């Protein structure tokens, strides 16, 4: 709902909307933010003055999800080991696969490696 208060807030944001949104995007998505996202979000902020909605939409974006997913590679390695091998990772696996995730950002590749391992085949597929 566009109340008089909300209109006043939107008007106050207008001169700074692009700058505000660029800073929000940098914090959530990193420095390589797409200009289209900034423009669309700045227009939204200028129109309705609802910074919370803009932040929520940016934070809920696929880009934010992908960036944040790989912020905790050790947790992803732990989950992959538990799910595929039924155990906790050994120290070498934790280190090597955490590094792999940081470098490649490819969780599917990690799952594939573990699923093709001799341990997986012996433990789960060969009676």
| The pair of three-digit structure tokens given for residue 27, joined into one six-digit string | 């914090």
Distance CA 81, CA 115 (A): 10
pLDDT at 4 over 70: no
Distance CA 28, CA 79 (A): 24
Q: Which residue has the tokens 């909300």?
A: 6
What pLDDT, on the 0 to 100 scale, is given for residue 2? 55
What pLDDT, on the 0 to 100 scale, is given for residue 3? 65
pLDDT at 5 over 70: no
pLDDT at 32 over 80: no
Task: For residue range 41-83, list pLDDT tens digits in order.
Answer: 999 999 888 899 999 999 999 889 888 888 899 999 999 999 9
What pLDDT, on the 0 to 100 scale, is given for residue 18? 92
Find the range with the poorest average confidence among 7-11, 67-71, 109-113.
7-11
What pLDDT, on the 0 to 100 scale, is given for residue 89? 97
Helices (H) and strands (E) counted in the chain, each on its own, are 9, 0
């Amino acid at each position: 709902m566009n109340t008089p208060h909300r209109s006043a807030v939107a008007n106050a944001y207008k001169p700074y909307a692009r700058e505000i949104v660029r800073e929000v995007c940098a914090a959530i998505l990193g420095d390589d933010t797409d200009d289209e996202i900034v423009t669309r979000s700045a227009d939204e902020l200028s129109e309705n003055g609802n910074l919370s909605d803009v932040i929520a939409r940016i934070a809920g974006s696929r880009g934010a999800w992908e960036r944040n997913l790989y912020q905790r590679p050790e947790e992803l390695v732990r989950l992959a080991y538990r799910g595929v091998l039924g155990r906790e990772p050994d120290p070498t696996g934790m280190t090597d696969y955490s590094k792999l995730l940081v470098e490649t950002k490819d969780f599917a590749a990690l799952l594939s490696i573990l699923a093709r391992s001799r341990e997986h085949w012996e433990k789960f597929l060969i009676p």
